[in-house]
Chains A and B, each alone.
Chain A
Amino acid sequence: GDSVTQMEGPVTLSEEAFLTINCTYTATGYPSLFWYVQYPGEGLQLLLKATKADDKGSNKGFEATYRKETTSFHLEKGSVQVSDSAVYFCALSMVGGATNKLIFGTGTLLAVQP
């Protein structure tokens, strides 16, 4: 079945460090890909999305490129801040599928230290 695999956390970085959180997917069709962020005690916020191969999603300094050849959607940021500390979820949804269901990865906790 369709699935999303994320790197295990926690990821601990110093402020201004470069961030990569790996995400790969398995899908039988053509998925849309998303990154959601969850700050402590809050709901999920959409961070960015990409709906077709080679699309790049970007928001608030975060970027991810939809790579069909490697079935990946890695999240990157050039310089993290303490305020970026949160759990990051990679997710997919199948375009044209029978159900409008988000399939989530397990989440990656990011802790940024000053």
Chain B
Amino acid sequence: DTEVTQTPKHLVMGMTNKKSLKCEQHMGHRAMYWYKQKAKKPPELMFVYSYEKLSINESVPSRFSPECPNSSLLNLHLHALQPEDSALYLCASSQDGLAGLYEQYFGPGTRLTVT
């Protein structure tokens, strides 16, 4: 099974709301990732967790707060977002955090709209 699941599939939130995106994998992978993808663009890396520790933060604004409660789960907490944060948010996982050795498996994404 090479499935990464994400919930919700769609999310509409106001600029004052607090919401969370969830991601889960049961492949025993030890690295998990959050990406942001705008229309007609490639995904942009936001965060990387390796062995449940945050290893990369690509200078993401603090209104995005990642959390990795255990090796199978990854959350992205959202607060005070801006309309320009509307995008497809993709979660991915890989067997290990070692660079270049393992492919990443992506979830279907959460389509976020900020009003």
Contacts and interface: CB of A to CB of B under 8 A. Distances in A.
Interface string A40-70: 0011111001010000000000000000000
Interface string A12-27: 0000000000000000
Interface residues of A, number: 28
B66 interface: no
Interface in B19-46: 31, 40-43, 45
Interface of A: 30-32, 34, 36, 42-46, 49, 51, 89, 91, 93-102, 104-107
B42 A104 contact: yes
Given A51-B101, A100-B50, 16 more contacts: A31-B100, A32-B103, A42-B109, A43-B90, A51-B100, A91-B42, A93-B99, A96-B98, A99-B55, A99-B99, A100-B31, A100-B48, A100-B97, A100-B99, A102-B45, A102-B104
A93 B100 contact: yes
Interface in B86-109: 90, 92, 94, 97-101, 103-109
Contacts of B42: 89, 91, 104-107
A44 to B, nearest CB: 4
Given A43-B90, A89-B42, A107-B41, A97 B99 contact: yes
Contacts of B41: 106-107
B56 interface: yes
A113 B107 CA distance: 28
Range, interface on chain B = 20 to 34
Nearest to B104: A102
Nearest to A6: B42
A9 to B, nearest CB: 10
Contacts of A42: 108-109
Contact of A95 (B4, B92, B101, B109): B101
B48 A43 contact: no
B103 A95 contact: no
B103 A34 contact: yes
24 contacts: A32-B103, A43-B106, A44-B106, A45-B106, A49-B103, A51-B101, A93-B99, A94-B99, A96-B98, A96-B99, A96-B100, A99-B48, A99-B56, A100-B31, A100-B48, A100-B50, A100-B55, A100-B99, A101-B45, A101-B56, A102-B104, A104-B42, A105-B42, A107-B42
